Chains A and B, each alone.
Chain A
Amino acid sequence: AQSVAQPEDQVNVAEGNPLTVKCTYSVSGNPYLFWYVQYPNRGLQFLLKYITGDNLVKGSYGFEAEFNKSQTSFHLKKPSALVSDSALYFCAVRDGGTGGFKTIFGAGTRLFVKA
């Protein structure tokens, strides 16, 4: 069975500083990994994904994530945080080996960027 963990309930960072939101996963097959962002009372927006290839993937709004197979991690990063990045971030995993459609979402990490 697949699972995903976001160990931090909340991350606080000052504007202009780098940010990291952590994610670890567990799947039996090949991991398909995703990051989504949710603003208050809105649906989720897709940020980026890792399916195969380069371990560093770049996405929307200057975000990037690094796939680390040995540590089963897929941390979200941004070199310089903006106040407007404050939102709820979800990591998600799908088992690419099963061909199934089920994507498991983490519990979410709330990011606060202080001016």
Chain B
Amino acid sequence: SQTIHQWPATLVQPVGSPLSLECTVEGTSNPNLYWYRQAAGRGLQLLFYSVGIGQISSEVPQNLSASRPQDRQFILSSKKLLLSDSGFYLCAWSPPQVYEQYFGPGTRLTVT
């Protein structure tokens, strides 16, 4: 069966520090991958999605970036965090030609 992992679960970082959040999917190949941010326990904002290695589409201009160095690995990064980057970051995947998404457990990021 397929599983999705995210780490770390919780992160506290100072303003101006770098960020790296990792997401990996097991038990599937060529998944579509997504990064979302959820603020204040409410709606989800799509940040990036990827349909293949090295293929990244950005939905919202900001100081975050994403990379997909391997088929089942999706990384969210920042060179310098802002206070406004605080939130709950969710990675999700979907099999090709399947429309629903399956979410990881999330990373709670607090920028201080």
Instruction: List A residues at the B interface (Cβ < 8 Å).
Output: 32, 34, 36, 41-46, 49, 51, 88, 90, 94, 96, 101-103, 105-108
Contacts and interface: CB of A to CB of B under 8 A. Distances in A.
Interface residues of B, number: 23
Leading 9 A-B pairs by shortest Cβ distance:
A43-B103, A107-B43, A105-B44, A44-B103, A46-B100, A43-B106, A43-B105, A32-B99, A108-B42
Contacts of A108: 41-43
B21 interface: no
B51 interface: yes
B28 interface: no
A102 B44 CA distance: 12
Contacts, number: 52
B68 to A, nearest CB: 14
Contacts of A45: 103
Interface string B36-47: 000001111010
A51 B102 CA distance: 17
A90 B104 contact: no
Interface of B: 6, 32, 41-44, 46, 49, 51, 57, 59, 88, 90, 92, 99-106, 108
Nearest to B108: A41
B90 A44 contact: yes
Given A44-B90, A101-B49, A90 B103 contact: no
A102 B102 contact: no
A92 to B, nearest CB: 8
28 contacts: A34-B99, A36-B103, A41-B88, A42-B106, A43-B6, A43-B90, A43-B92, A43-B104, A43-B105, A43-B106, A44-B90, A44-B92, A44-B103, A45-B103, A46-B102, A49-B99, A49-B100, A101-B32, A101-B49, A101-B51, A102-B59, A103-B46, A103-B99, A103-B101, A105-B44, A106-B43, A107-B43, A108-B42
Given A102-B59, A107-B43, A41 B106 contact: yes
